[in-house]
């Protein structure tokens, strides 16, 4: 019989009951956000892109990220270019995929309505990685897990982002399936997403201790049964762990710092570094500057 994450810790009395909010509030992942300038955060299990300016959340975009076989890589990057009406230089791996599927093998797709990059491509990281934010000729694929590694936006959102973002802005791609947030009333909410990549989420082993610590510091009971239900269903809907009412609405949710802050005597559970010098992304470990590809392929 599966135990609650709380029954493993003796001496802690928790309330029973369950309540899943039907609100459309979008919880924030727990990432160290740059307090100056722009910072883009993608949490892959959410299929959402968060835009911050000087540490404050400005906008949330739905996105399509890499599918299981072509996962979007996590890490810290910087915006390295914005290209309007781009041509798509098809990577060799996708050419092989087209050949295996009996489709015409394309090497370059010119700008236009049939271009999978849409009207704009916003590169992050080194050109050889082939990564970026871009529009799409398949708007119904957003949000979701359908790309070859790049991050798709609907065309109006891609153009809006291109008009907003600056070269050198920080980019963090994270994989957090469990989010903790507080609403304006101080209630604690948990949101669990499906583990699409079947990865070990480094946050999960620390969840019970983090919830118990929150309970102790706030002197408010956390409902263990609601935790178990949320983790079992992984519906992507915020679940209130402390509300007395079963019809509570979270309203705006702010991230609880439980991953980005170091535990006592240790380092952060999941380090999400912000690049201090975007130019550093263009050098290898030996200190030699990397030459950009003349026609870098894009993963799509």
**The pLDDT of residue 170 is above 50:** yes
41-45, 109-113, 281-285, 290-294, range with greatest mean pLDDT: 41-45
pLDDT tens, residue by residue, 127-158: 888 899 999 999 999 999 999 899 999 999 99
Class of residue 99 by CB neighbours under 10 A (exposed 0-12, middle 13-18, buried 19+) = exposed
- Check 150, 196, 240, 243 and give the catalytic one: 150
Q: What is the structure's pLDDT at 193? A: 96
- Is 150 one of the annotated active-site residues of the chain? yes
Q: Read off the pLDDT band of 92 (50, 70, 90).
A: confident
**The pLDDT of residue 243 is above 90:** yes
Mean pLDDT within 204-224: 93
pLDDT tens, residue by residue, 2-43: 444 443 333 333 433 333 333 347 999 999 999 999 999 999
Domain with CATH 2.40.440.10 in the chain: 38-174
State how far the alpha carbon of 105 is from the alpha carbons of 67, 92, 109, 135, 210, in Å. Answer: 21, 10, 11, 22, 51
- Is 134 one of the annotated active-site residues of the chain? yes
pLDDT tens, residue by residue, 56-78: 999 999 999 999 999 999 999 99
Q: Which residue has the higher pLDDT, 8 or 214?
A: 214
Q: How far is residue 182's CA from residue 66's CA, in Å, rounded to a whole number? A: 29
Q: What is the structure's pLDDT at 272? A: 41
Q: Which residue has the higher pLDDT, 27 or 292?
A: 27
Model pTM greater than 0.85? no
Residues 6+ apart with CB under 8 A from 156: none
Mean pLDDT within 108-134: 91
Q: What is the CATH number of domain 38-174?
A: 2.40.440.10
Q: Which residue has the higher pLDDT, 202 or 84?
A: 84
**The pLDDT of residue 230 is above 90:** yes
Lowest mean pLDDT, pick from 113-122, 192-201, 260-269: 260-269
Q: How far is residue 244's CA from residue 106's CA, in Å, rounded to a whole number? A: 58
Among candidate residues 158, 149, 169, the one with its CA nearest the CA of residue 76: 169
Q: What is the structure's pLDDT at 99? A: 78
- Check 39, 134, 148, 196 and give the catalytic one: 134
């Amino acid at each position: 019989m599966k135990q609650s994450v709380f029954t493993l810790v003796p001496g802690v009395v928790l309330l029973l009951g369950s309540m899943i909010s039907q609100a459309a509030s979008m919880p924030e992942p727990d990432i160290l956000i740059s307090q100056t300038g722009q910072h883009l955060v993608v949490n892959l299990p959410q299929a959402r892109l968060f835009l911050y300016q000087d540490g404050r959340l400005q906008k949330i975009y739905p996105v399509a990220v890499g599918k299981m076989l072509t996962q979007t890589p996590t890490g810290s990057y910087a915006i390295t270019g914005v290209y309007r009406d781009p041509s798509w230089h098809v990577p060799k791996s996708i050419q092989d995929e087209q050949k295996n599927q009996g489709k015409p093998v394309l090497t370059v797709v010119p700008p236009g309505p049939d271009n999978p990059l849409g009207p704009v491509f916003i590169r992050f990281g080194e050109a050889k990685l082939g990564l970026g934010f871009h529009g799409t000729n398949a708007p119904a694929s957003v949000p979701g897990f359908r790309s070859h590694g790049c991050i798709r936006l609907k065309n109006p959102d891609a153009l809006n982002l291109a008009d907003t973002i600056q070269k050198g802005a920080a980019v963090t791609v994270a994989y957090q399936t469990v989010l903790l947030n507080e609403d304006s009333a101080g209630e604690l909410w948990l949101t669990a997403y499906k583990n699409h990549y079947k990865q070990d989420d480094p946050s999960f082993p620390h969840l019970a201790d983090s919830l118990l610590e929150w309970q102790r510091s706030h002197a408010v009971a956390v409902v263990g049964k609601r935790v178990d239900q949320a983790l079992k269903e992984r519906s992507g809907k915020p679940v209130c762990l402390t509300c007395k009412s079963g019809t509570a609405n979270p309203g705006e949710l702010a991230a609880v710092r439980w991953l980005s802050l170091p535990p006592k005597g240790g380092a952060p559970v999941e380090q999400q570094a912000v690049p201090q010098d975007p130019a550093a992304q263009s050098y290898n470990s030996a200190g030699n500057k990397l030459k950009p590809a003349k026609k870098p392929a894009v993963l799509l």
